[in-house]
Amino acid sequence: MKLIVGLGNPDAQYFNTYHNLGFKCADKVAAILGAEFKKEKFRAKLAETGSGDKKILIAKPLTYMNLSGESVKEIVAFYKLDLKDLLVIYDDYDLNKGFIRIRESGSAGTHNGMRNLIKELGSGDFPRVRIGFKPDEPSVIPLIDFVLSGIKEEDKPLFEDATTRAANAAAEFARGAEVLSLVQKYNGRK
């Protein structure tokens, strides 16, 4: 079984913000795999496809970004998942906008949602897809406000492409692709 988790915030006011790039990817992964978000369980919206050990679960935690780990921990524990079968997709201010960075494991960096996730899971040894949104010019807005600000109109095509590439990488992971092959294929910016 594979678990794909997109990080974000559940309220409509956050839909078009940088902090919801993970949710946007989760929606795209579900569409690629022919799944729909029909269930709410483990404090998350869930979409699933496949069966048995070929089951794929896509989750959007409803705990808000900074407590994402609480929901993911429940899912991982219930299904007794090995962390190598978990892929987390999230926004990352430490990467330039539109860049994709896939890794087999790592730290949380400056991301509070990932900090909570790593704390709750007790490990950072799980694959992740980071979508950069660092602006070309330094932001005058505090980071806490910037991550919740709306994506600029002129940047929407760039982020549409980035979330599509991230979702394609996640779908390939869900179907069994090795993380290193995804790194070679998707890392960077188109």
CATH of the domain at 158: 3.40.50.1470
Q: Got the DSSP string for 41-84?
A: ETTEEEEEES-GGG-EEEEEESS-GGGHHHHHHHHHHHHT--GG
pTM of the model: 0.96
Sequence-ordered strand ranges (E) for 116-173: 128-134
Quickly count: other Cβ atoms within 10 Å of residue 151's Cβ.
18
What is the domain count for the chain?
Answer: 1
What percent of the chain clears pLDDT 90, i.e. is strictly above it? 87
Can you tell me the distance from the alpha carbon of 114 to that of 29, in angstroms, rounded to the nearest whole number?
20
List 19, 24, 97, 165, catalytic entry: 19
Mean pLDDT, rounded, for 166-181: 97
For 141-145, the CB contacts below 8 A with 24+ separation are: 143/93, 143/110
Domain that holds residue 80: 2-186
User: Which pLDDT tens digit goes with each residue over 89-144?
Assistant: 999 999 999 999 999 999 998 899 999 999 999 999 999 999 999 988 887 888 88
Collect all residues with Cβ–Cβ distance below 8 Å to 107 and sequence separation of at least 6. Answer: 118, 124
Rounded to a whole number, what is the distance in angstroms from the first to the last CA of the chain?
30
Q: Look over the chain and give the mean of its residue pLDDT values, rounded to a whole number.
A: 95
Tell me if residue 19 is catalytic: yes
Q: Which of 59, 58, 121, 133 is nearest to 92 (CA)?
A: 133
What percent of the chain clears pLDDT 70, i.e. is strictly above it? 100
> What sign for the dihedral angle of Cα 107, 109, 111, 112?
positive
Q: What angle do CA 120, 100, 22 make, to 5 degrees?
A: 45
